[in-house]
Structure 1
Amino acid sequence: MHSIIIPHSDRNAYLDQCLWSITRSSQFTGATHYEVIVVDNGSRIRPQSNEPRVKFVYDDTPMDPFNKPRLQNLGIEAALLVAPDKFHSHTLSFLDADAIVGIHWVCAPALLLDGLTKVCYRVRTLPKEHLGYLQREPDRASLVQRWFDNYSTYTRAFEGYVKPDTNGDTGEPVFGNSQFSIRRSVLGDLRFNEEYKGRGYEDVWMNREIWRHYGEKYKAVLELNPAWALFHIRYSGPEAKGWDAGENNKLNHKRYYAT
Structure 2
Amino acid sequence: MNLPTDLKKLSIEQCEGLCGDIRKILIDTVSKNGGHLASNLGTVELTMAIHRVFESPKDKIVWDVGHQAYTHKILTGRLKEFYTLRQENGISGFCRPDESVHDAFISGHSSTSVSAALGIATAMKLSGDKTHHAIAVVGDGASTGGELYEGLNNAGKSDTNIIVILNYNEMSISKNVGGMAKYLSTMRTKESYQRTKGKIERILDKTPVVGKPVKNAVRNSKNAVKNMILHSTMFEDLGFHYIGPINGHNLEELEQGL
TM-score clears 0.5: no
Which one has a larger percent helix, Structure 1 or Structure 2? 2
**Structure (1 or 2) with the greater strand fraction:** 1
Query: TM-score by structure 1 length?
Result: 0.28
Does 1 or 2 have the higher relative contact order (CA < 8 Å, sep 6+)? Answer: 1
TM-score scaled by length of structure 2: 0.29
Task: Please say which structure displays the higher CA radius of gyration.
Answer: 2
